[in-house]
Structure 1
Amino acid sequence: MKISRVDSFLVEVPQKAPIAPYHSRYRGQSVTRSILIRLEADDGTEGWGEAPQVYLGDPLTGREAEALRPTLAGVDPTDVVAACDGLTFEHIYIQSAVEMAMWDLAGKARGVPLYRLLGGPCRSEVELAACMGIQSHDRAGEIARLYVEMGFSTLKAKAGRDPEEDLAMVRGVRDAVGDRLELRIDPNTGYSPEACEQLAKDLEPYRLQYLEQPMGEDLIDESARIRGLTSTPLALNESVTTPERVREILDKEAADVLLPDTYQCGGVWATKRVAEVAASAGVPCVVHCAHDLGPKTAAMLHLAAGTPNFPLANDCTYYGLVEDVLVRPLEIRAGRMAVPQAPGLGIEVDPEKVRKYRVGPPA
């Protein structure tokens, strides 16, 4: 099997309540923006990969296939790890989407779902954490009650604009549903070490599952120090990038939980490796979500099914899409998703829906 065609698409899919409008400390949004990569093999088989749009830096254009075609032409996509190690990509996000599409092709070539190539199955369905943007006390309580009714067990909320706002939001959740939801908040590096330390202590009565990435990604020593001063567990996401950085985090005991993601680590395999290394230190992992469409959501399911050290609910905003780009959207039942059983990612992308939501010129 050889790659014979490469296409890329920038798509924007509207979101619906209660996800939209989704406010982080950076911005508000009501759409999911993703780059889709389509690889076609010489036998006509196609593989799909996905990465989020870049928000902090130069955005992706959807024309990335133009640079990828001479690089990928004739490559055997079933040699995923070796092929990607030998290639150079202009952007790690694009590397992750290409690698995901190769895994999709590799599974289809062998007639097995991706999780079997990753060593699974460890589980047949995956627990999901519902998400919400920064909210007021009352609105946070309303959304929390809705998520309990929908069958979710875990809630992740954005945070990071102001500690008092964060505390009011957390109180809103606890006042509305008590401990019926595990609760995580994510300030997205919004606070100084001093503010983080105080916030972590102020959050102790509310029994968070964890406080995610409250400080800058390079402040590993500070995370280790503050972790020793509070009973609020600390998690890291933006810090979880290279193997060297992961070893530093684990060596310094700087986190209770790690949240790797394909676009930050460079692919499915790199994300799995983070979880395996973290397991050796007794640190559980969660697959991070970047407002994903079907291909990346399916990759999350296969990662969780093929890797024991994803024992907690994995972040998900999939239920907030007005429509997915798949022929048959993935189903959520009582806060869980079944792992796809068809070969590769186990999904079928609908080209008409891709055209419907594509923005910018074709590549």
Structure 2
Amino acid sequence: MSWLVVFYLILGLYIFYILWLTFGLPKLKSTDFKLSNQPETKFSVVISMRNEAENLPALFQSVSDLSYPKNLFEIILIDDDSQDESWKLARAFQAHYSDIKIYLLSISEEKYTPKKNAIYTAIRKSTYPYILTTDADVILPENWLKSFDAKLQSTGADLLAGGVIVAKNSSFLSHYQHFDMLSLQLFGLASFARNQPVICNGANLCYKKQAYLDAEVNYGKEDIASGDDVFTLQKFKQLGYEIDFLSDAQSVVWTRALESFEGLWHQRRRWASKTASVESWYMKSVGVLVTLMQLVLVLGLILGFWESTFFGFLINAFLLKFIIDGWSLTRMAKIQNLGFCWTDFFKVSLVYPFFTLFFSLTSFYGKFEWKGRRFKK
């Protein structure tokens, strides 16, 4: 079997998988719902922060704009040894919005790595039955809590995973992150629809407090820097808890793009530290398939200088992948009421194999930095 046949086989498997994912999305239509005029779910919103002074004003404004009865939620801000004015801004926010239950905490647990310690500490101090975690660099939509309440009233789920969108700006790197996150959401949402839930995002994740405490989601994962979200999902799944994905566009939170390639690289290395510990052959198989797809595109370019048939493969594979990927992402964007620019997507597609392959091949080794700290793999 020639290498060209192998390349086309990988392309065929990749296209089949993307189509399988995308055609699974309509299965979610049966879970459509309307916002309730009588919210009833009580939420403890947990937000960990470390050196987030630049992002906190926008977050706090979005919190104050939440359209939800103030007696049904509390905000727990937990500081992870910030070295900037994050604590000062949080105190000012607490003082200014006295009608909102806002609690400021510092990490008191030393059981896990810092992010896990922050969340665990906050959850133990929370008073409401449902935990909703998010990050300090996001902007929350007005009906965020209403969307989760409506879904919980209709399903009674033990865990609900919500969407996260990276906001585009003028930089090319932000465009890459926007489409990359959109593809991750396609993978996550469609995998839920196909009864194969494997990933979620802690920037928009809701679960029952008691279920979290009973599950001991970080047991055996204490030294892994990331994974507070995926490990929770996996443990809930193992224990047979009811889990679901909230696809409602009004529940999606927005986050800022990282500004440097180095910062993005360290983020991917941090994500890889948890991915390697997830016990899911489905997730690992998809990761291998996606990496191989990027690899054959890059090899097609290189080998094309020696044999022109590989250039032919590269052109065919790139165009087919671009059309199928773009079509599937437009379906995902429509679910979340997002616009989709084919021109921006084409530009990102030209470098996507190189970026993604680089992150895949370098993310499982060495150390990485996060929030001014260094972690080992």
Q: What's the TM-score, normalizing by structure 1?
A: 0.30
**Structure ranking higher on relative contact order (CA contacts 8 Å, 6+ apart):** 1
Higher Cα radius of gyration: 2
If each structure's helix is expressed as a fraction of its own residues, which one has the higher value? 2
